[in-house]
Amino acid sequence: MAKGKDARVTIILECTCCVRNRVNKESIGISRYITQKNRHNTPSRLELRKFCPSCYKHTIHGEIKK
C-alpha cells in the first residue's frame, strides 16, 4: 500500500521577539520549539505563545522553514 503525503508534519517554532531584536549578548540564544501540525487543518503558518528563556517571558513563536 503506497503512502501519499502525510497530514502530520514536524515544524520548528522560533521566537519572533529574539529574531527581531538580534538577541542580546548576555542571553542564551534564540528560543526554538519542535512540534507537529496537521497540514490539512492548518495550511497557513502556525504561531503559538510559548515561554522564551532568552526574553524571560511568554512571546509569540512563529513557524520557520527547515
- Domain-embedded: residue 2: no
Q: Is 20 helix (H, G, I), strand (E, B) or coil?
A: helix
Sheet holding 32-38, edge to edge: 32-38, 8-15, 57-64, 47-52
CATH of the domain at 50: 2.20.28.120
- Cα gap 7→9, rounded to integer Å: 7
Q: What is the model's pLDDT at position 2? A: 54
Q: What is the model's pLDDT at position 53? A: 87
Residue 10 CB contacts under 8 Å (≥ 6 apart), including other chains: 34, 35, 36
Find the domain containing 27 and state its range.
Answer: 8-64
Domains held by the chain: number: 1
Q: What is the tens place of the pLDDT at every residue in 15-56?
A: 988 877 665 555 566 789 999 999 899 899 999 999 998 888
- Domain-embedded: residue 42: yes
pTM of the model: 0.76
